[in-house]
Structure formats: structure tokens, C-alpha cells
Amino acid sequence: QKFVYDFTEGNRDLKDLLGGKGANLAEMTNLGLPVPPGFTITTEACKVYLDSGEEPAALRDEVSAHLDALEQKMGKKLGQSDDPLLVSVRSGAKFSMPGMMDTVLNIGLSDTSVTGLASQAGDERFAWDSYRRLIQMFGKTVLGVDGEHFEEALDAAKEAKGVTVDTDLDAADLKNLVEKFKQIVKTATGRDFPQDPREQMDLAIKAVFDSWNGDRAKLYRRQERIPHDLGTAVNVCSMVFGNLGPDSGTGVAFTRDPASGHQGVYGDYLQNAQGEDVVAGIRNTVPLADLEQIDKKSYDQLMQIMETLETHYKDLCDIEFTIERGQLWMLQTRVGKRTAGAAFRIATQLVDQGLIDEAEALQRVTGAQLAQLMFPKFDEQAKVEQIGRGIAASPGAAVGKAVFDSYTAVKWSRSGEKVILIRRETNPDDLDGMIASEGILTSRGGKTSHAAVVARGMGKTCVCGAEELDVDTKRRRMTTSSGQVVEEGDVVSIDGSTGKVYLGEVPVVPSPVVEYFEGRMHAGADDADELVAAVHRIMAYADRVRRLRVRANADNAEDASRARRFGAQGIGLCRTEHMFLGERREMVERLILADTEEEREAALAELLPLQKKDFIELFEAMDGLPVTVRLLDPPLHEFLPDITELSVRVALAEARKDPNENDLRLLQAVHKLHEQNPMLGLRGVRLGLVIPGLFAMQVRAIAEAAAERKNAKGDPRAEIMIPLVGTVQELEIVREESEAVIAEVEAATGVELKLALGTMIELPRAAVTAGQIAEAAEFFSFGTNDLTQTVWGFSRDDVEASFFTAYLEKGIFGVSPFETIDKDGVGSLVRHAVEQGRATRPGIKLGVCGEHGGDPESVHFFHEVGLDYVSCSPFRIPVARLEAGRAAA
Ligand code: PEP
Ligand code: MG
């Protein structure tokens, strides 16, 4: 096994082994670009070290051989006293983890070689400054010395001299500072700063390995869902210096604008500086375009290289470079991060330039980016007063009055106020308050905090961990870092896409992408329309290649129409229980309370015409497209009053000696229907089997509505779906009853209906016995919400707000299985049921209507297992279309 690769030996496909930085340095080297020579130690070496606590035996010799070769190439030896070769030792994992791991520059400097560097560079100040940087960085990251000590000594030196910036310290000052720094190291570690250059290098390599398991790095990986076992590569690279005078400098550049995607010169340059100065923001940079004036030759060469890189990588690249005395060096490149809008624009621009094809363009965007573009935003033109910034935990733009407890949030929102719930952090007791609020703001916690997890689940705007805001829930106020006080009732605005917090109301503008999907915006010339045009094209590519059809979960004509505008190809789930709310709840109550056959039939007869009207509207909105109507699913007690409230009411009435007959009957019914575990109780098909006439009424309403639509020359395509089936026997009974009703309606109306009858697969037993169930089902729709609940034994209504935060933090899963399908568990049942269902009934139609139907990663899974369609909420339809296209491309 080879643990070390020269830059000339690697390439960009070796990211697993060489890390992103190392692979791209090798790629640039092989393109003939000016990269300072060096070598990369593999992630495999890191893994051996992390697993065993020791570097692999062969590593030392391999490093020696590569160091020899490097020294030959450079014509000088590491730390050589009269002309030292200096190297940087940098981390570089497969996935970029900005600033999370260690880097040490200027390795090879010592008390002797510092003078060699001074005479070679003809610059004593530069040499001593480089040495003090080495001791500082090495001391901090390799030897674990508290960085504050060095900062304090540096400040003291400046103060003693009466200057404010580092550059005003001369060679003698820096030489003194080096002595101080060495003393700091000695005091803190009990040993001298190592003078042997090879020892410096070996210790630095080990420190980089160790930094993979630093707290910051671990937290970052958990949040970004980067596996913990990848390890980091280490790049050893000969140093070039941007701080050798005005003809030197350092900069960063993008091959096009990462915000808009426009081609042009984008970047920053800092004359006479090293890379860390740019990052630290110590001095002001100039726009990259100014480099043309400063150093035309390097500028022209850089432009040439940027073009080479774009053509080679066929994508936007970001670059770090250094100019040493007029010689340009490339220190890093990678495919650059970009905003969601730029991702769409760049993908279409690259198609137009002939660099990529449409299939590739689809891989350059994601459903998550599209979803981001669909959130409303704050008006960028508006004057704002920013008072803090936290973590962008759940996107959106929310405005409301500040409230500091959930009780007030609920109370105020009931009286029609819009509120923002502000807490130090939230806990399960805040659930009601979170539901009642426009958005949630916390001063503690990260992307996996309770507030963040729950808000994302609810699709609510959330900013968390805004640490400069001091939240005082007792006094119902918060204080900003500048001492400004926000009282309960003051209006605040929070941006869940940027994490910014504003005082006062910031106007919200609708998303142009939603305006486009709604049909309210078309192509044009301004900025938003350029984005819309790009989205339009990408969606067209996706629709052309996708195999999965996309339907909507919708139970009224309004949602159905919107879904259709968003591209829905039918309704995959109409939850009829939603039609029984509001004033109709009482009719259901009468049905439940019915003592006699007549009473029950009267109640059903009351509901029938209302249901029928619902269906007529729905079939009309979805004319020509399939509409899957699911028969009543939830336990009946959900339609009755709350047991506690009702008990209190009855008790009070009795105390007043004024009992209410109806309340008493209700209470009896509530007691009778009360279940410890209603989700596993009398619901779904079980209801249909024990409440005579209920399902028959619904089937009749569907059939009569379809007949009426046909008579009106419409094209209704109803499908009747039975929920919570566990065994084929249940389905057979309902099927027989339904077919009889349909035949009656056909006979009475003289219309042939062709209604399909199918079932949900949402219990493990149904999935396991899907082969039998398919005997009686013309279609399956996977109810992955209930299936996840029953496979894991997780109560879907409780767990996300209770212990999921702990589970996410412990890394048991990276994302809630209610959000992204658990492929190994729930997914394998789906796979099994697909196979068994098709084996029994080759033409069986297969879809999914759980929340996962609109989740990007899950859509790819459903494509892969061969479903015919996914069904999701109307707003997620574009995302599902796009991801279905990406899965197929
Ligand atoms: C499901 O269980 O996945 C489903 C779609 O049904 P509901 O969410 O209504 O239980
Ligand atoms: Mg269900």
C-alpha cells in the first residue's frame, strides 16, 4: 500500500485517497499549471493512525523518499541553514471542512535557517516575521499552547513601540518577539521549540491527523452529515511567499460570480501579504480587477488559467493563488460553492457554452436548492436594522411581535397577532408556542437543536444560536450586543435562510420562482426573470427524462388546482377526514352517537351529499388525471370533544344540578372510544369493518360524483384507496361491499364507472404479505409515515419533539427517518412489497404518498425501487419533479 503521492502522481478522481485539496493540486500540476511542488499523504495513512494510535510503519520512509525528491527538485534542503526549503503542512479531507482542521506554514525555519532565509530573500524583517508565525501556529496547533499568549505578546510589542499594525514592527522587534514566543512555548509545554526541521514536519503531520477528531471538526461533520471514518489527507507543499514586497501578494478568485453565475472577474487581492492575512481580514483587500494595474503579466496569466480551469472542470471553480516577486503560483482550486440561484443559472449557461449536456445540468442543481428558491424573501431594497445573526436553521422570512414564552405565543396568535417565539432554547413544552408562531428565534443551540429540528419538520422559519442576543425570559426581553433592548411586543423579523435578525418589520417579497410556477411570471429581462428562465429550462429537462410521475396530496379543489399549476399529474392522496372538520364535525358526532339503525342512516344520509359535492369539485379540478380518494382513516374519537374538557363541563353542570343530556351521551361515547394507543387502534379499514355503512357511504359519494362528472362530459379518474390494511381478508370484505355499491350506482345512473380499488401499504404485515394483498388490490400506495412509525415503533406525533435531538446528536441517524426514508429498514420492506405485488399482479400500479414522496433523497430511492409515482404536498411538487429527473438522468 502506497501512503504518499507526489503532486505529479495524483488526479482529481482520487478525492477519497488524497482529499479534495490534494486531488485538485495534482490535477492542476498535471494540467501544467504553476503549482509549487509537493506531495500528499493519503487518508489511508490517517485512518491507520487514528485506528491504532500509530502511523503506519512504512510512512516515515515514504515521506523521506518524497522529501528527498522535493529537495532535489527545489535545489535546497528542508531547513538548510544558508537557504532553507520551507514547506506548509495542510489538512485536506474528501469534503471541504473550512477552517475545521489544522494547517502549519513555514516549516523548516529555525534559529539558524532564519538568517539563511533573510539573506536569500534580502529581507530580514520578512524572515523574522515568518519565523514568529511558525512558532505561533506550531505552538498553537501542534503543541496545544493557548493562542492568547501569543496574541498578548504581539499586542504588548506593538504597544511598547506605540504602533497599531503588525507591519510597523521591524526586524529587531520581531526578533525580540521570536524570543518571547519561544519562551511561551517553553513555559507552556516544558520543552523547547523544536529546531530540527524534520521533527517539525513530522509533528505537524501528526497534528493534522489528530485534528480530524477535534471537537470542532466532529461537530461540523455531524451537522453536514459527513461520515466520521473518512480521515484527512495531509498536503506537504513547498512554500511560496506573497509577503516579499509590493511585487508579491495573495488572493482568491472565482471563475464566475458565485452569487449570480455571471462570467467576469470576481475575487480579492491583497498586496504584500500571506493567505492568512486575507482570511483574518487584517488589511483591506482590493478587487481582483485591480491586479491588472498592479501586475499585468500575472493578471493575464491568471485569467488564462481561470479559463483553462473552467473548461477543464466544466464548472465554476474557486481558486487561491499567491504571487511571489512577480511569479504566479496556484495554491488551491475546487469546484466552487454557489448560491441556489446561481446553481440554476450556471447549469444553463454551461449548456449554452457547450460544456455540459442537459443530463449533466440536472446533476448541477438539487431539489434542496429549488426549495430554497421557493421561500419568500425579505425585500433586499428595504432599509433594515440588523440586531444579530444566528444559524440559518429553517428557511423562510418571518415577521412578528416578540414573545418570550409559549403561553403568550398561543394567546396572542389566537387573537390574530403574528408572533415570533424567542427563547434561549426550546424544549418539548414549547411545541404549542412554536406551532402558533410565524418563526422561532433562539440564542443557543445549533442545526440539530430542538428548535431547529422541530421547526424544519413543521416547515417554520427558524434562526437558532444567535449568541449575541441575550434572552431574558423572566423579564420578557432580550438585549443585543450593543445594549439595545427588545421588549415583548416589539416587532422583529428573522431570516431563516441567512440567520439574520432584524428589529422592526422588514417587507417580504414573494419568490419569483413561485410566481413562475403559479403562472404569474414569464420570461423577461430583469434579474429575477433570468433565474426564472433557468429554472424553466431545468424543469423541462427533468420532465423530459423522469420516469416517476408526480402527484399531489390534496383534499380540496383549491389545493388541487395549485398542485396542477405546479405540475402535478393527479392526486395520490385525498385524506377524506379533512372533509369532516368544521361544521361537519357534528354530523360525524351524530353518526358516532347513533343508537339505532335509523339514527345512523340519517347521519350518513346527511354526510353523503356533502361528500359528493367535495368529490365533484376535486374531480373537476383534476379532470383527466387520476384522483386517489382514501376512505376515512383516523380513529373516531378525533371527531369528539377532548375528554378532559368534556369531563369538566359535565362535572360543573352536575354541580349546578343542570346536567346536559347530550354532553352526558357524548362523554359516554368518548369513554367508550378512548384508546391508550389510538394510532394502533380502531382506525383505517378497521373502522370501515365495524361502523356499518360508513365506507359504503363514501364509496357511493365517489361513484355518484364520478357519474355526474361523466354526464357533464368530464373525465373523472377516481381510485378508491383503503387505509391501514394488514391482511388481504380485510381488503376482500371492503372490496365486495364497495363493488356492490358501485354496481348499484352504475345501474341507477346508466354510467360505466371503471373505478380502481386499491390499498395503502403502511403496516409491516401488509408489506410482508404484499403478494397476497395484491390479489385484491389494483394499486398500492406506500404510506411511509405509518410504515416508519410501525417499523421503528416510533410515535410519529411525539418523537421528533422529544428524543430525536438526542438521537441526532449521538449520530444514531443523520436525519429523521420521518423526513428521509430509512432505506435499510422501511425501504427494504417497500422493496419486498414491490416485488411481491408485481409477482402477483404484473400491471399493479405502485406509488407512495407518505411525506417522503417530496423528500429529495427518498425520491431517488423510490425511482430506484421502481415505483410508478410519488405523491407529495402541492408546494413540494416542483422539487419532486426535479429530483425524479435527476434520478433518471
Ligand atoms: C402515511 O401513513 O404515510 C400516509 C400517507 O397516511 P397518513 O399520513 O394520513 O397516516
Ligand atoms: Mg397512514
Most ligand 1 atoms within 8 A of CB, residue of 553, 555, 574, 575 to mutate: 575
- Give the Cβ contact number of residue 874 at 10 Å: 23
317 an active-site residue? no
Q: Which helix (H) or strand (E) holds 70?
A: helix 59-74
Name the residues around ion ligand 2, CB cutoff 5 A. Answer: 762, 783, 786
- Nearest-Å Rg of the Cα atoms of the chain is 33
Span 778-785, mean pLDDT? 97
Please report, as a single letter, which amino acid is at residue 180: K
Q: Whose CA is nearest to atom 1 of ligand 1?
A: 783
CA distances from 861 to 738, 788, 852 (A): 34, 15, 10
- Give the Cβ contact number of residue 597 at 10 Å: 10
Closest CA to 746 of 719, 695, 698, 711: 711
- pLDDT value at position 456? 76
CB 510 within 8 A of CB 379: no
What is the DSSP code (8-state) at residue 630?
Answer: E
Ligand 1 atom with the shortest distance to the CA of 762: 2
Alpha-carbon span 721 to 675, nearest angstrom: 25
CB 842 within 8 A of CB 780: no
- Give the Cβ contact number of residue 806 at 10 Å: 11
CB 83 within 8 A of CB 108: no
- Concatenate the DSSP letters of all residues of 73-124 into one string: HHTS-BT-SSS-B-EEEEEEESS--TTTS-EEEEET--TTHHHHHHHHHT-H
Indicate if the pLDDT at residue 676 is higher than 80.
yes
What residue ranges line ligand 1, CB within 6 angstroms? 573, 575, 633, 762, 783-786, 849-850
Ligand 1 atom with the shortest distance to the CA of 575: 9
Burial of 105: CB neighbours in 10 Å, binned 0-12, 13-18, 19+: buried
Indicate if the pLDDT at residue 220 is higher than 80.
no
Q: Whose CA is nearest to atom 10 of ligand 1?
A: 786
Alpha-carbon span 126 to 121, nearest angstrom: 8
Q: Which three cell numbers stand for residue 889?
A: 438522468
Q: Which helix (H) or strand (E) holds 848?
A: strand 845-848
Ligand 1 atom with the shortest distance to the CA of 781: 5
Alpha-carbon span 808 to 28, nearest angstrom: 39
Q: Which three cell numbers stand for residue 268?
A: 480579492
Indicate if the pLDDT at residue 714 is higher than 90.
yes
Strand ranges of the sheet holding 4-6, from the earlier edge strand across to the other edge: 4-6, 38-41, 232-238, 87-93, 103-107
Q: Which of 46, 462, 574, 849 is catalytic?
A: 849
Beta-strand relationship, 845-848 and 869-872 = parallel
Indicate if the pLDDT at residue 775 is higher than 60.
yes
Give the up-direction half-sphere exposure of residue 888: CA atoms within 13 A in the CB hemisphere. 20
Alpha-carbon span 779 to 846, nearest angstrom: 6
Indicate if the pLDDT at residue 458 is higher than 80.
no
Q: Which three cell numbers stand for residue 220?
A: 461540523
Burial of 835-866, coded b for 16+ CB within 10 Å and e otherwise, reads ebbbebbeebbbbbbbbbbbbbebbbbbbebe
Helices (H), 450-556: 450-458, 512-517, 527-545
Backbone angles phi, psi at 859, to 5 degrees: -60, -40
Indicate if the pLDDT at residue 680 is higher than 70.
yes
723 C-alpha vs ligand 1 centroid, how far in Å?
Answer: 8
* Alpha-carbon 261 to chain mean position: 22
Q: Which domains does the chain have, with CATH numbers?
A: 249-335 (3.30.470.20), 375-509 (3.50.30.10), 546-635+675-888 (3.20.20.60)
**Mean confidence (pLDDT) of the chain:** 92
Q: Counting ligands in written order, which one lies closest to the CA of residue 784? A: 1
Span 436-458, mean pLDDT? 84
Ligand 1 atom with the shortest distance to the CA of 553: 5
- Give the Cβ contact number of residue 88 at 10 Å: 22
CA distances from 235 to 12, 63, 313 (A): 14, 11, 21
End-to-end CA distance of the chain: 36
- pLDDT value at position 642? 84
- pLDDT value at position 454? 79
- Give the range among 126-140, 280-294, 468-482, 832-846 with minimum mean pLDDT: 280-294
782 C-alpha vs ligand 2 centroid, how far in Å?
Answer: 9
pLDDT interval class at 523 (50, 70, 90): low
Q: What is the pLDDT of residues 529-578, one digit of tens each?
A: 889 999 999 999 999 999 999 999 999 999 999 999 999 999 999 999 88
Ligand 1 atom with the shortest distance to the CA of 786: 2
Q: Counting ligands in written order, which one lies closest to the CA of residue 577? A: 1
- Concatenate the DSSP letters of all residues of 543-593 into one string: HHH--SEEEEE--SHHHHHHHHHTT--SEEEEEGGGGG-GGGHHHHHHHHH
Closest CA to 480 of 489, 496, 492: 492
Indicate if the pLDDT at residue 282 is higher than 80.
no
Backbone angles phi, psi at 720, to 5 degrees: -100, 130
Alpha-carbon span 653 to 180, nearest angstrom: 84
Alpha-carbon span 478 to 493, nearest angstrom: 14
Residues present in the chain in total: 889
CA distances from 342 to 263, 338, 362, 531, 532 (A): 11, 6, 14, 8, 11
Ligand 1 atom with the shortest distance to the CA of 783: 3
Alpha-carbon span 821 to 852, nearest angstrom: 6
Span 96-124, mean pLDDT? 90
107 C-alpha vs ligand 1 centroid, how far in Å?
Answer: 60
Most ligand 1 atoms within 8 A of CB, residue of 578, 633, 763 to mutate: 633
23 C-alpha vs ligand 1 centroid, how far in Å?
Answer: 46
- pLDDT value at position 281? 52
Please name the residue that has the C-alpha cell 444553463: 348
- pLDDT value at position 226? 82
pTM for the predicted model, two decimal places: 0.85
Ligand 1 atom with the shortest distance to the CA of 782: 3
Indicate if the pLDDT at residue 811 is higher than 80.
no
Q: Whose CA is nearest to atom 4 of ligand 1?
A: 783
629 C-alpha vs ligand 2 centroid, how far in Å?
Answer: 13
Q: Counting ligands in written order, which one lies closest to the CA of residue 724? A: 2
CB 783 within 8 A of CB 723: yes
615 C-alpha vs ligand 1 centroid, how far in Å?
Answer: 20
Indicate if the pLDDT at residue 279 is higher than 60.
no
Q: What is the pLDDT of residues 595-610, one digit of tens each?
A: 899 999 999 999 999 9
Q: Which three cell numbers stand for residue 125?
A: 524583517
Indicate if the pLDDT at residue 526 is higher than 70.
no
Most ligand 1 atoms within 8 A of CB, residue of 786, 822, 872 to mutate: 786
Alpha-carbon span 238 to 331, nearest angstrom: 10
90 bridge partner residues: 103, 235
Closest CA to 634 of 800, 484, 797, 750: 797
Closest CA to 704 of 616, 572, 625: 616
Span 830-840, mean pLDDT? 98
- Give the range among 96-100, 326-330, 548-552, 578-582 with minimum mean pLDDT: 96-100
Q: Whose CA is nearest to atom 9 of ligand 1?
A: 575
State whether residue 795 is helix, strand or coil.
coil
Q: Whose CA is nearest to atom 3 of ligand 1?
A: 783
- Concatenate the DSSP letters of all residues of 11-34 into one string: -GGGHHHHHHHHHHHHHHHHTT--
Q: Whose CA is nearest to atom 8 of ligand 1?
A: 785
Please report, as a single letter, which amino acid is at residue 131: Y
849 C-alpha vs ligand 1 centroid, how far in Å?
Answer: 7
Helices (H), 597-660: 597-621, 643-655
- Give the range among 91-95, 301-305, 808-812 with minimum mean pLDDT: 808-812
Beta-strand relationship, 38-41 and 232-238 = antiparallel
- Concatenate the DSSP letters of all residues of 178-208 into one string: HHHHHHHHHHHHSSPPP--HHHHHHHHHHHH
Q: Is the dihedral of CA 8, 13, 18, 19 positive or negative?
A: positive
pLDDT interval class at 519 (50, 70, 90): confident
Span 44-49, mean pLDDT? 96
Alpha-carbon span 724 to 766, nearest angstrom: 8
578 an active-site residue? no
Alpha-carbon span 208 to 234, nearest angstrom: 7
Indicate if the pLDDT at residue 485 is higher than 90.
yes
- pLDDT value at position 392? 87
User: Which residues, 6 or more positions from 750, have their beta carbon under 8 angstroms from its beta carbon?
Assistant: none
Indicate if the pLDDT at residue 638 is higher than 90.
no
Indicate if the pLDDT at residue 278 is higher than 70.
no
Q: Which of 46, 66, 149, 450 is catalytic?
A: 450
774 C-alpha vs ligand 2 centroid, how far in Å?
Answer: 18
Span 867-873, mean pLDDT? 96
Q: Which three cell numbers stand for residue 123?
A: 529581507
758 C-alpha vs ligand 2 centroid, how far in Å?
Answer: 14
Name the percent of the chain lying above pLDDT 70: 98
Please name the residue that has the C-alpha cell 528542508: 78
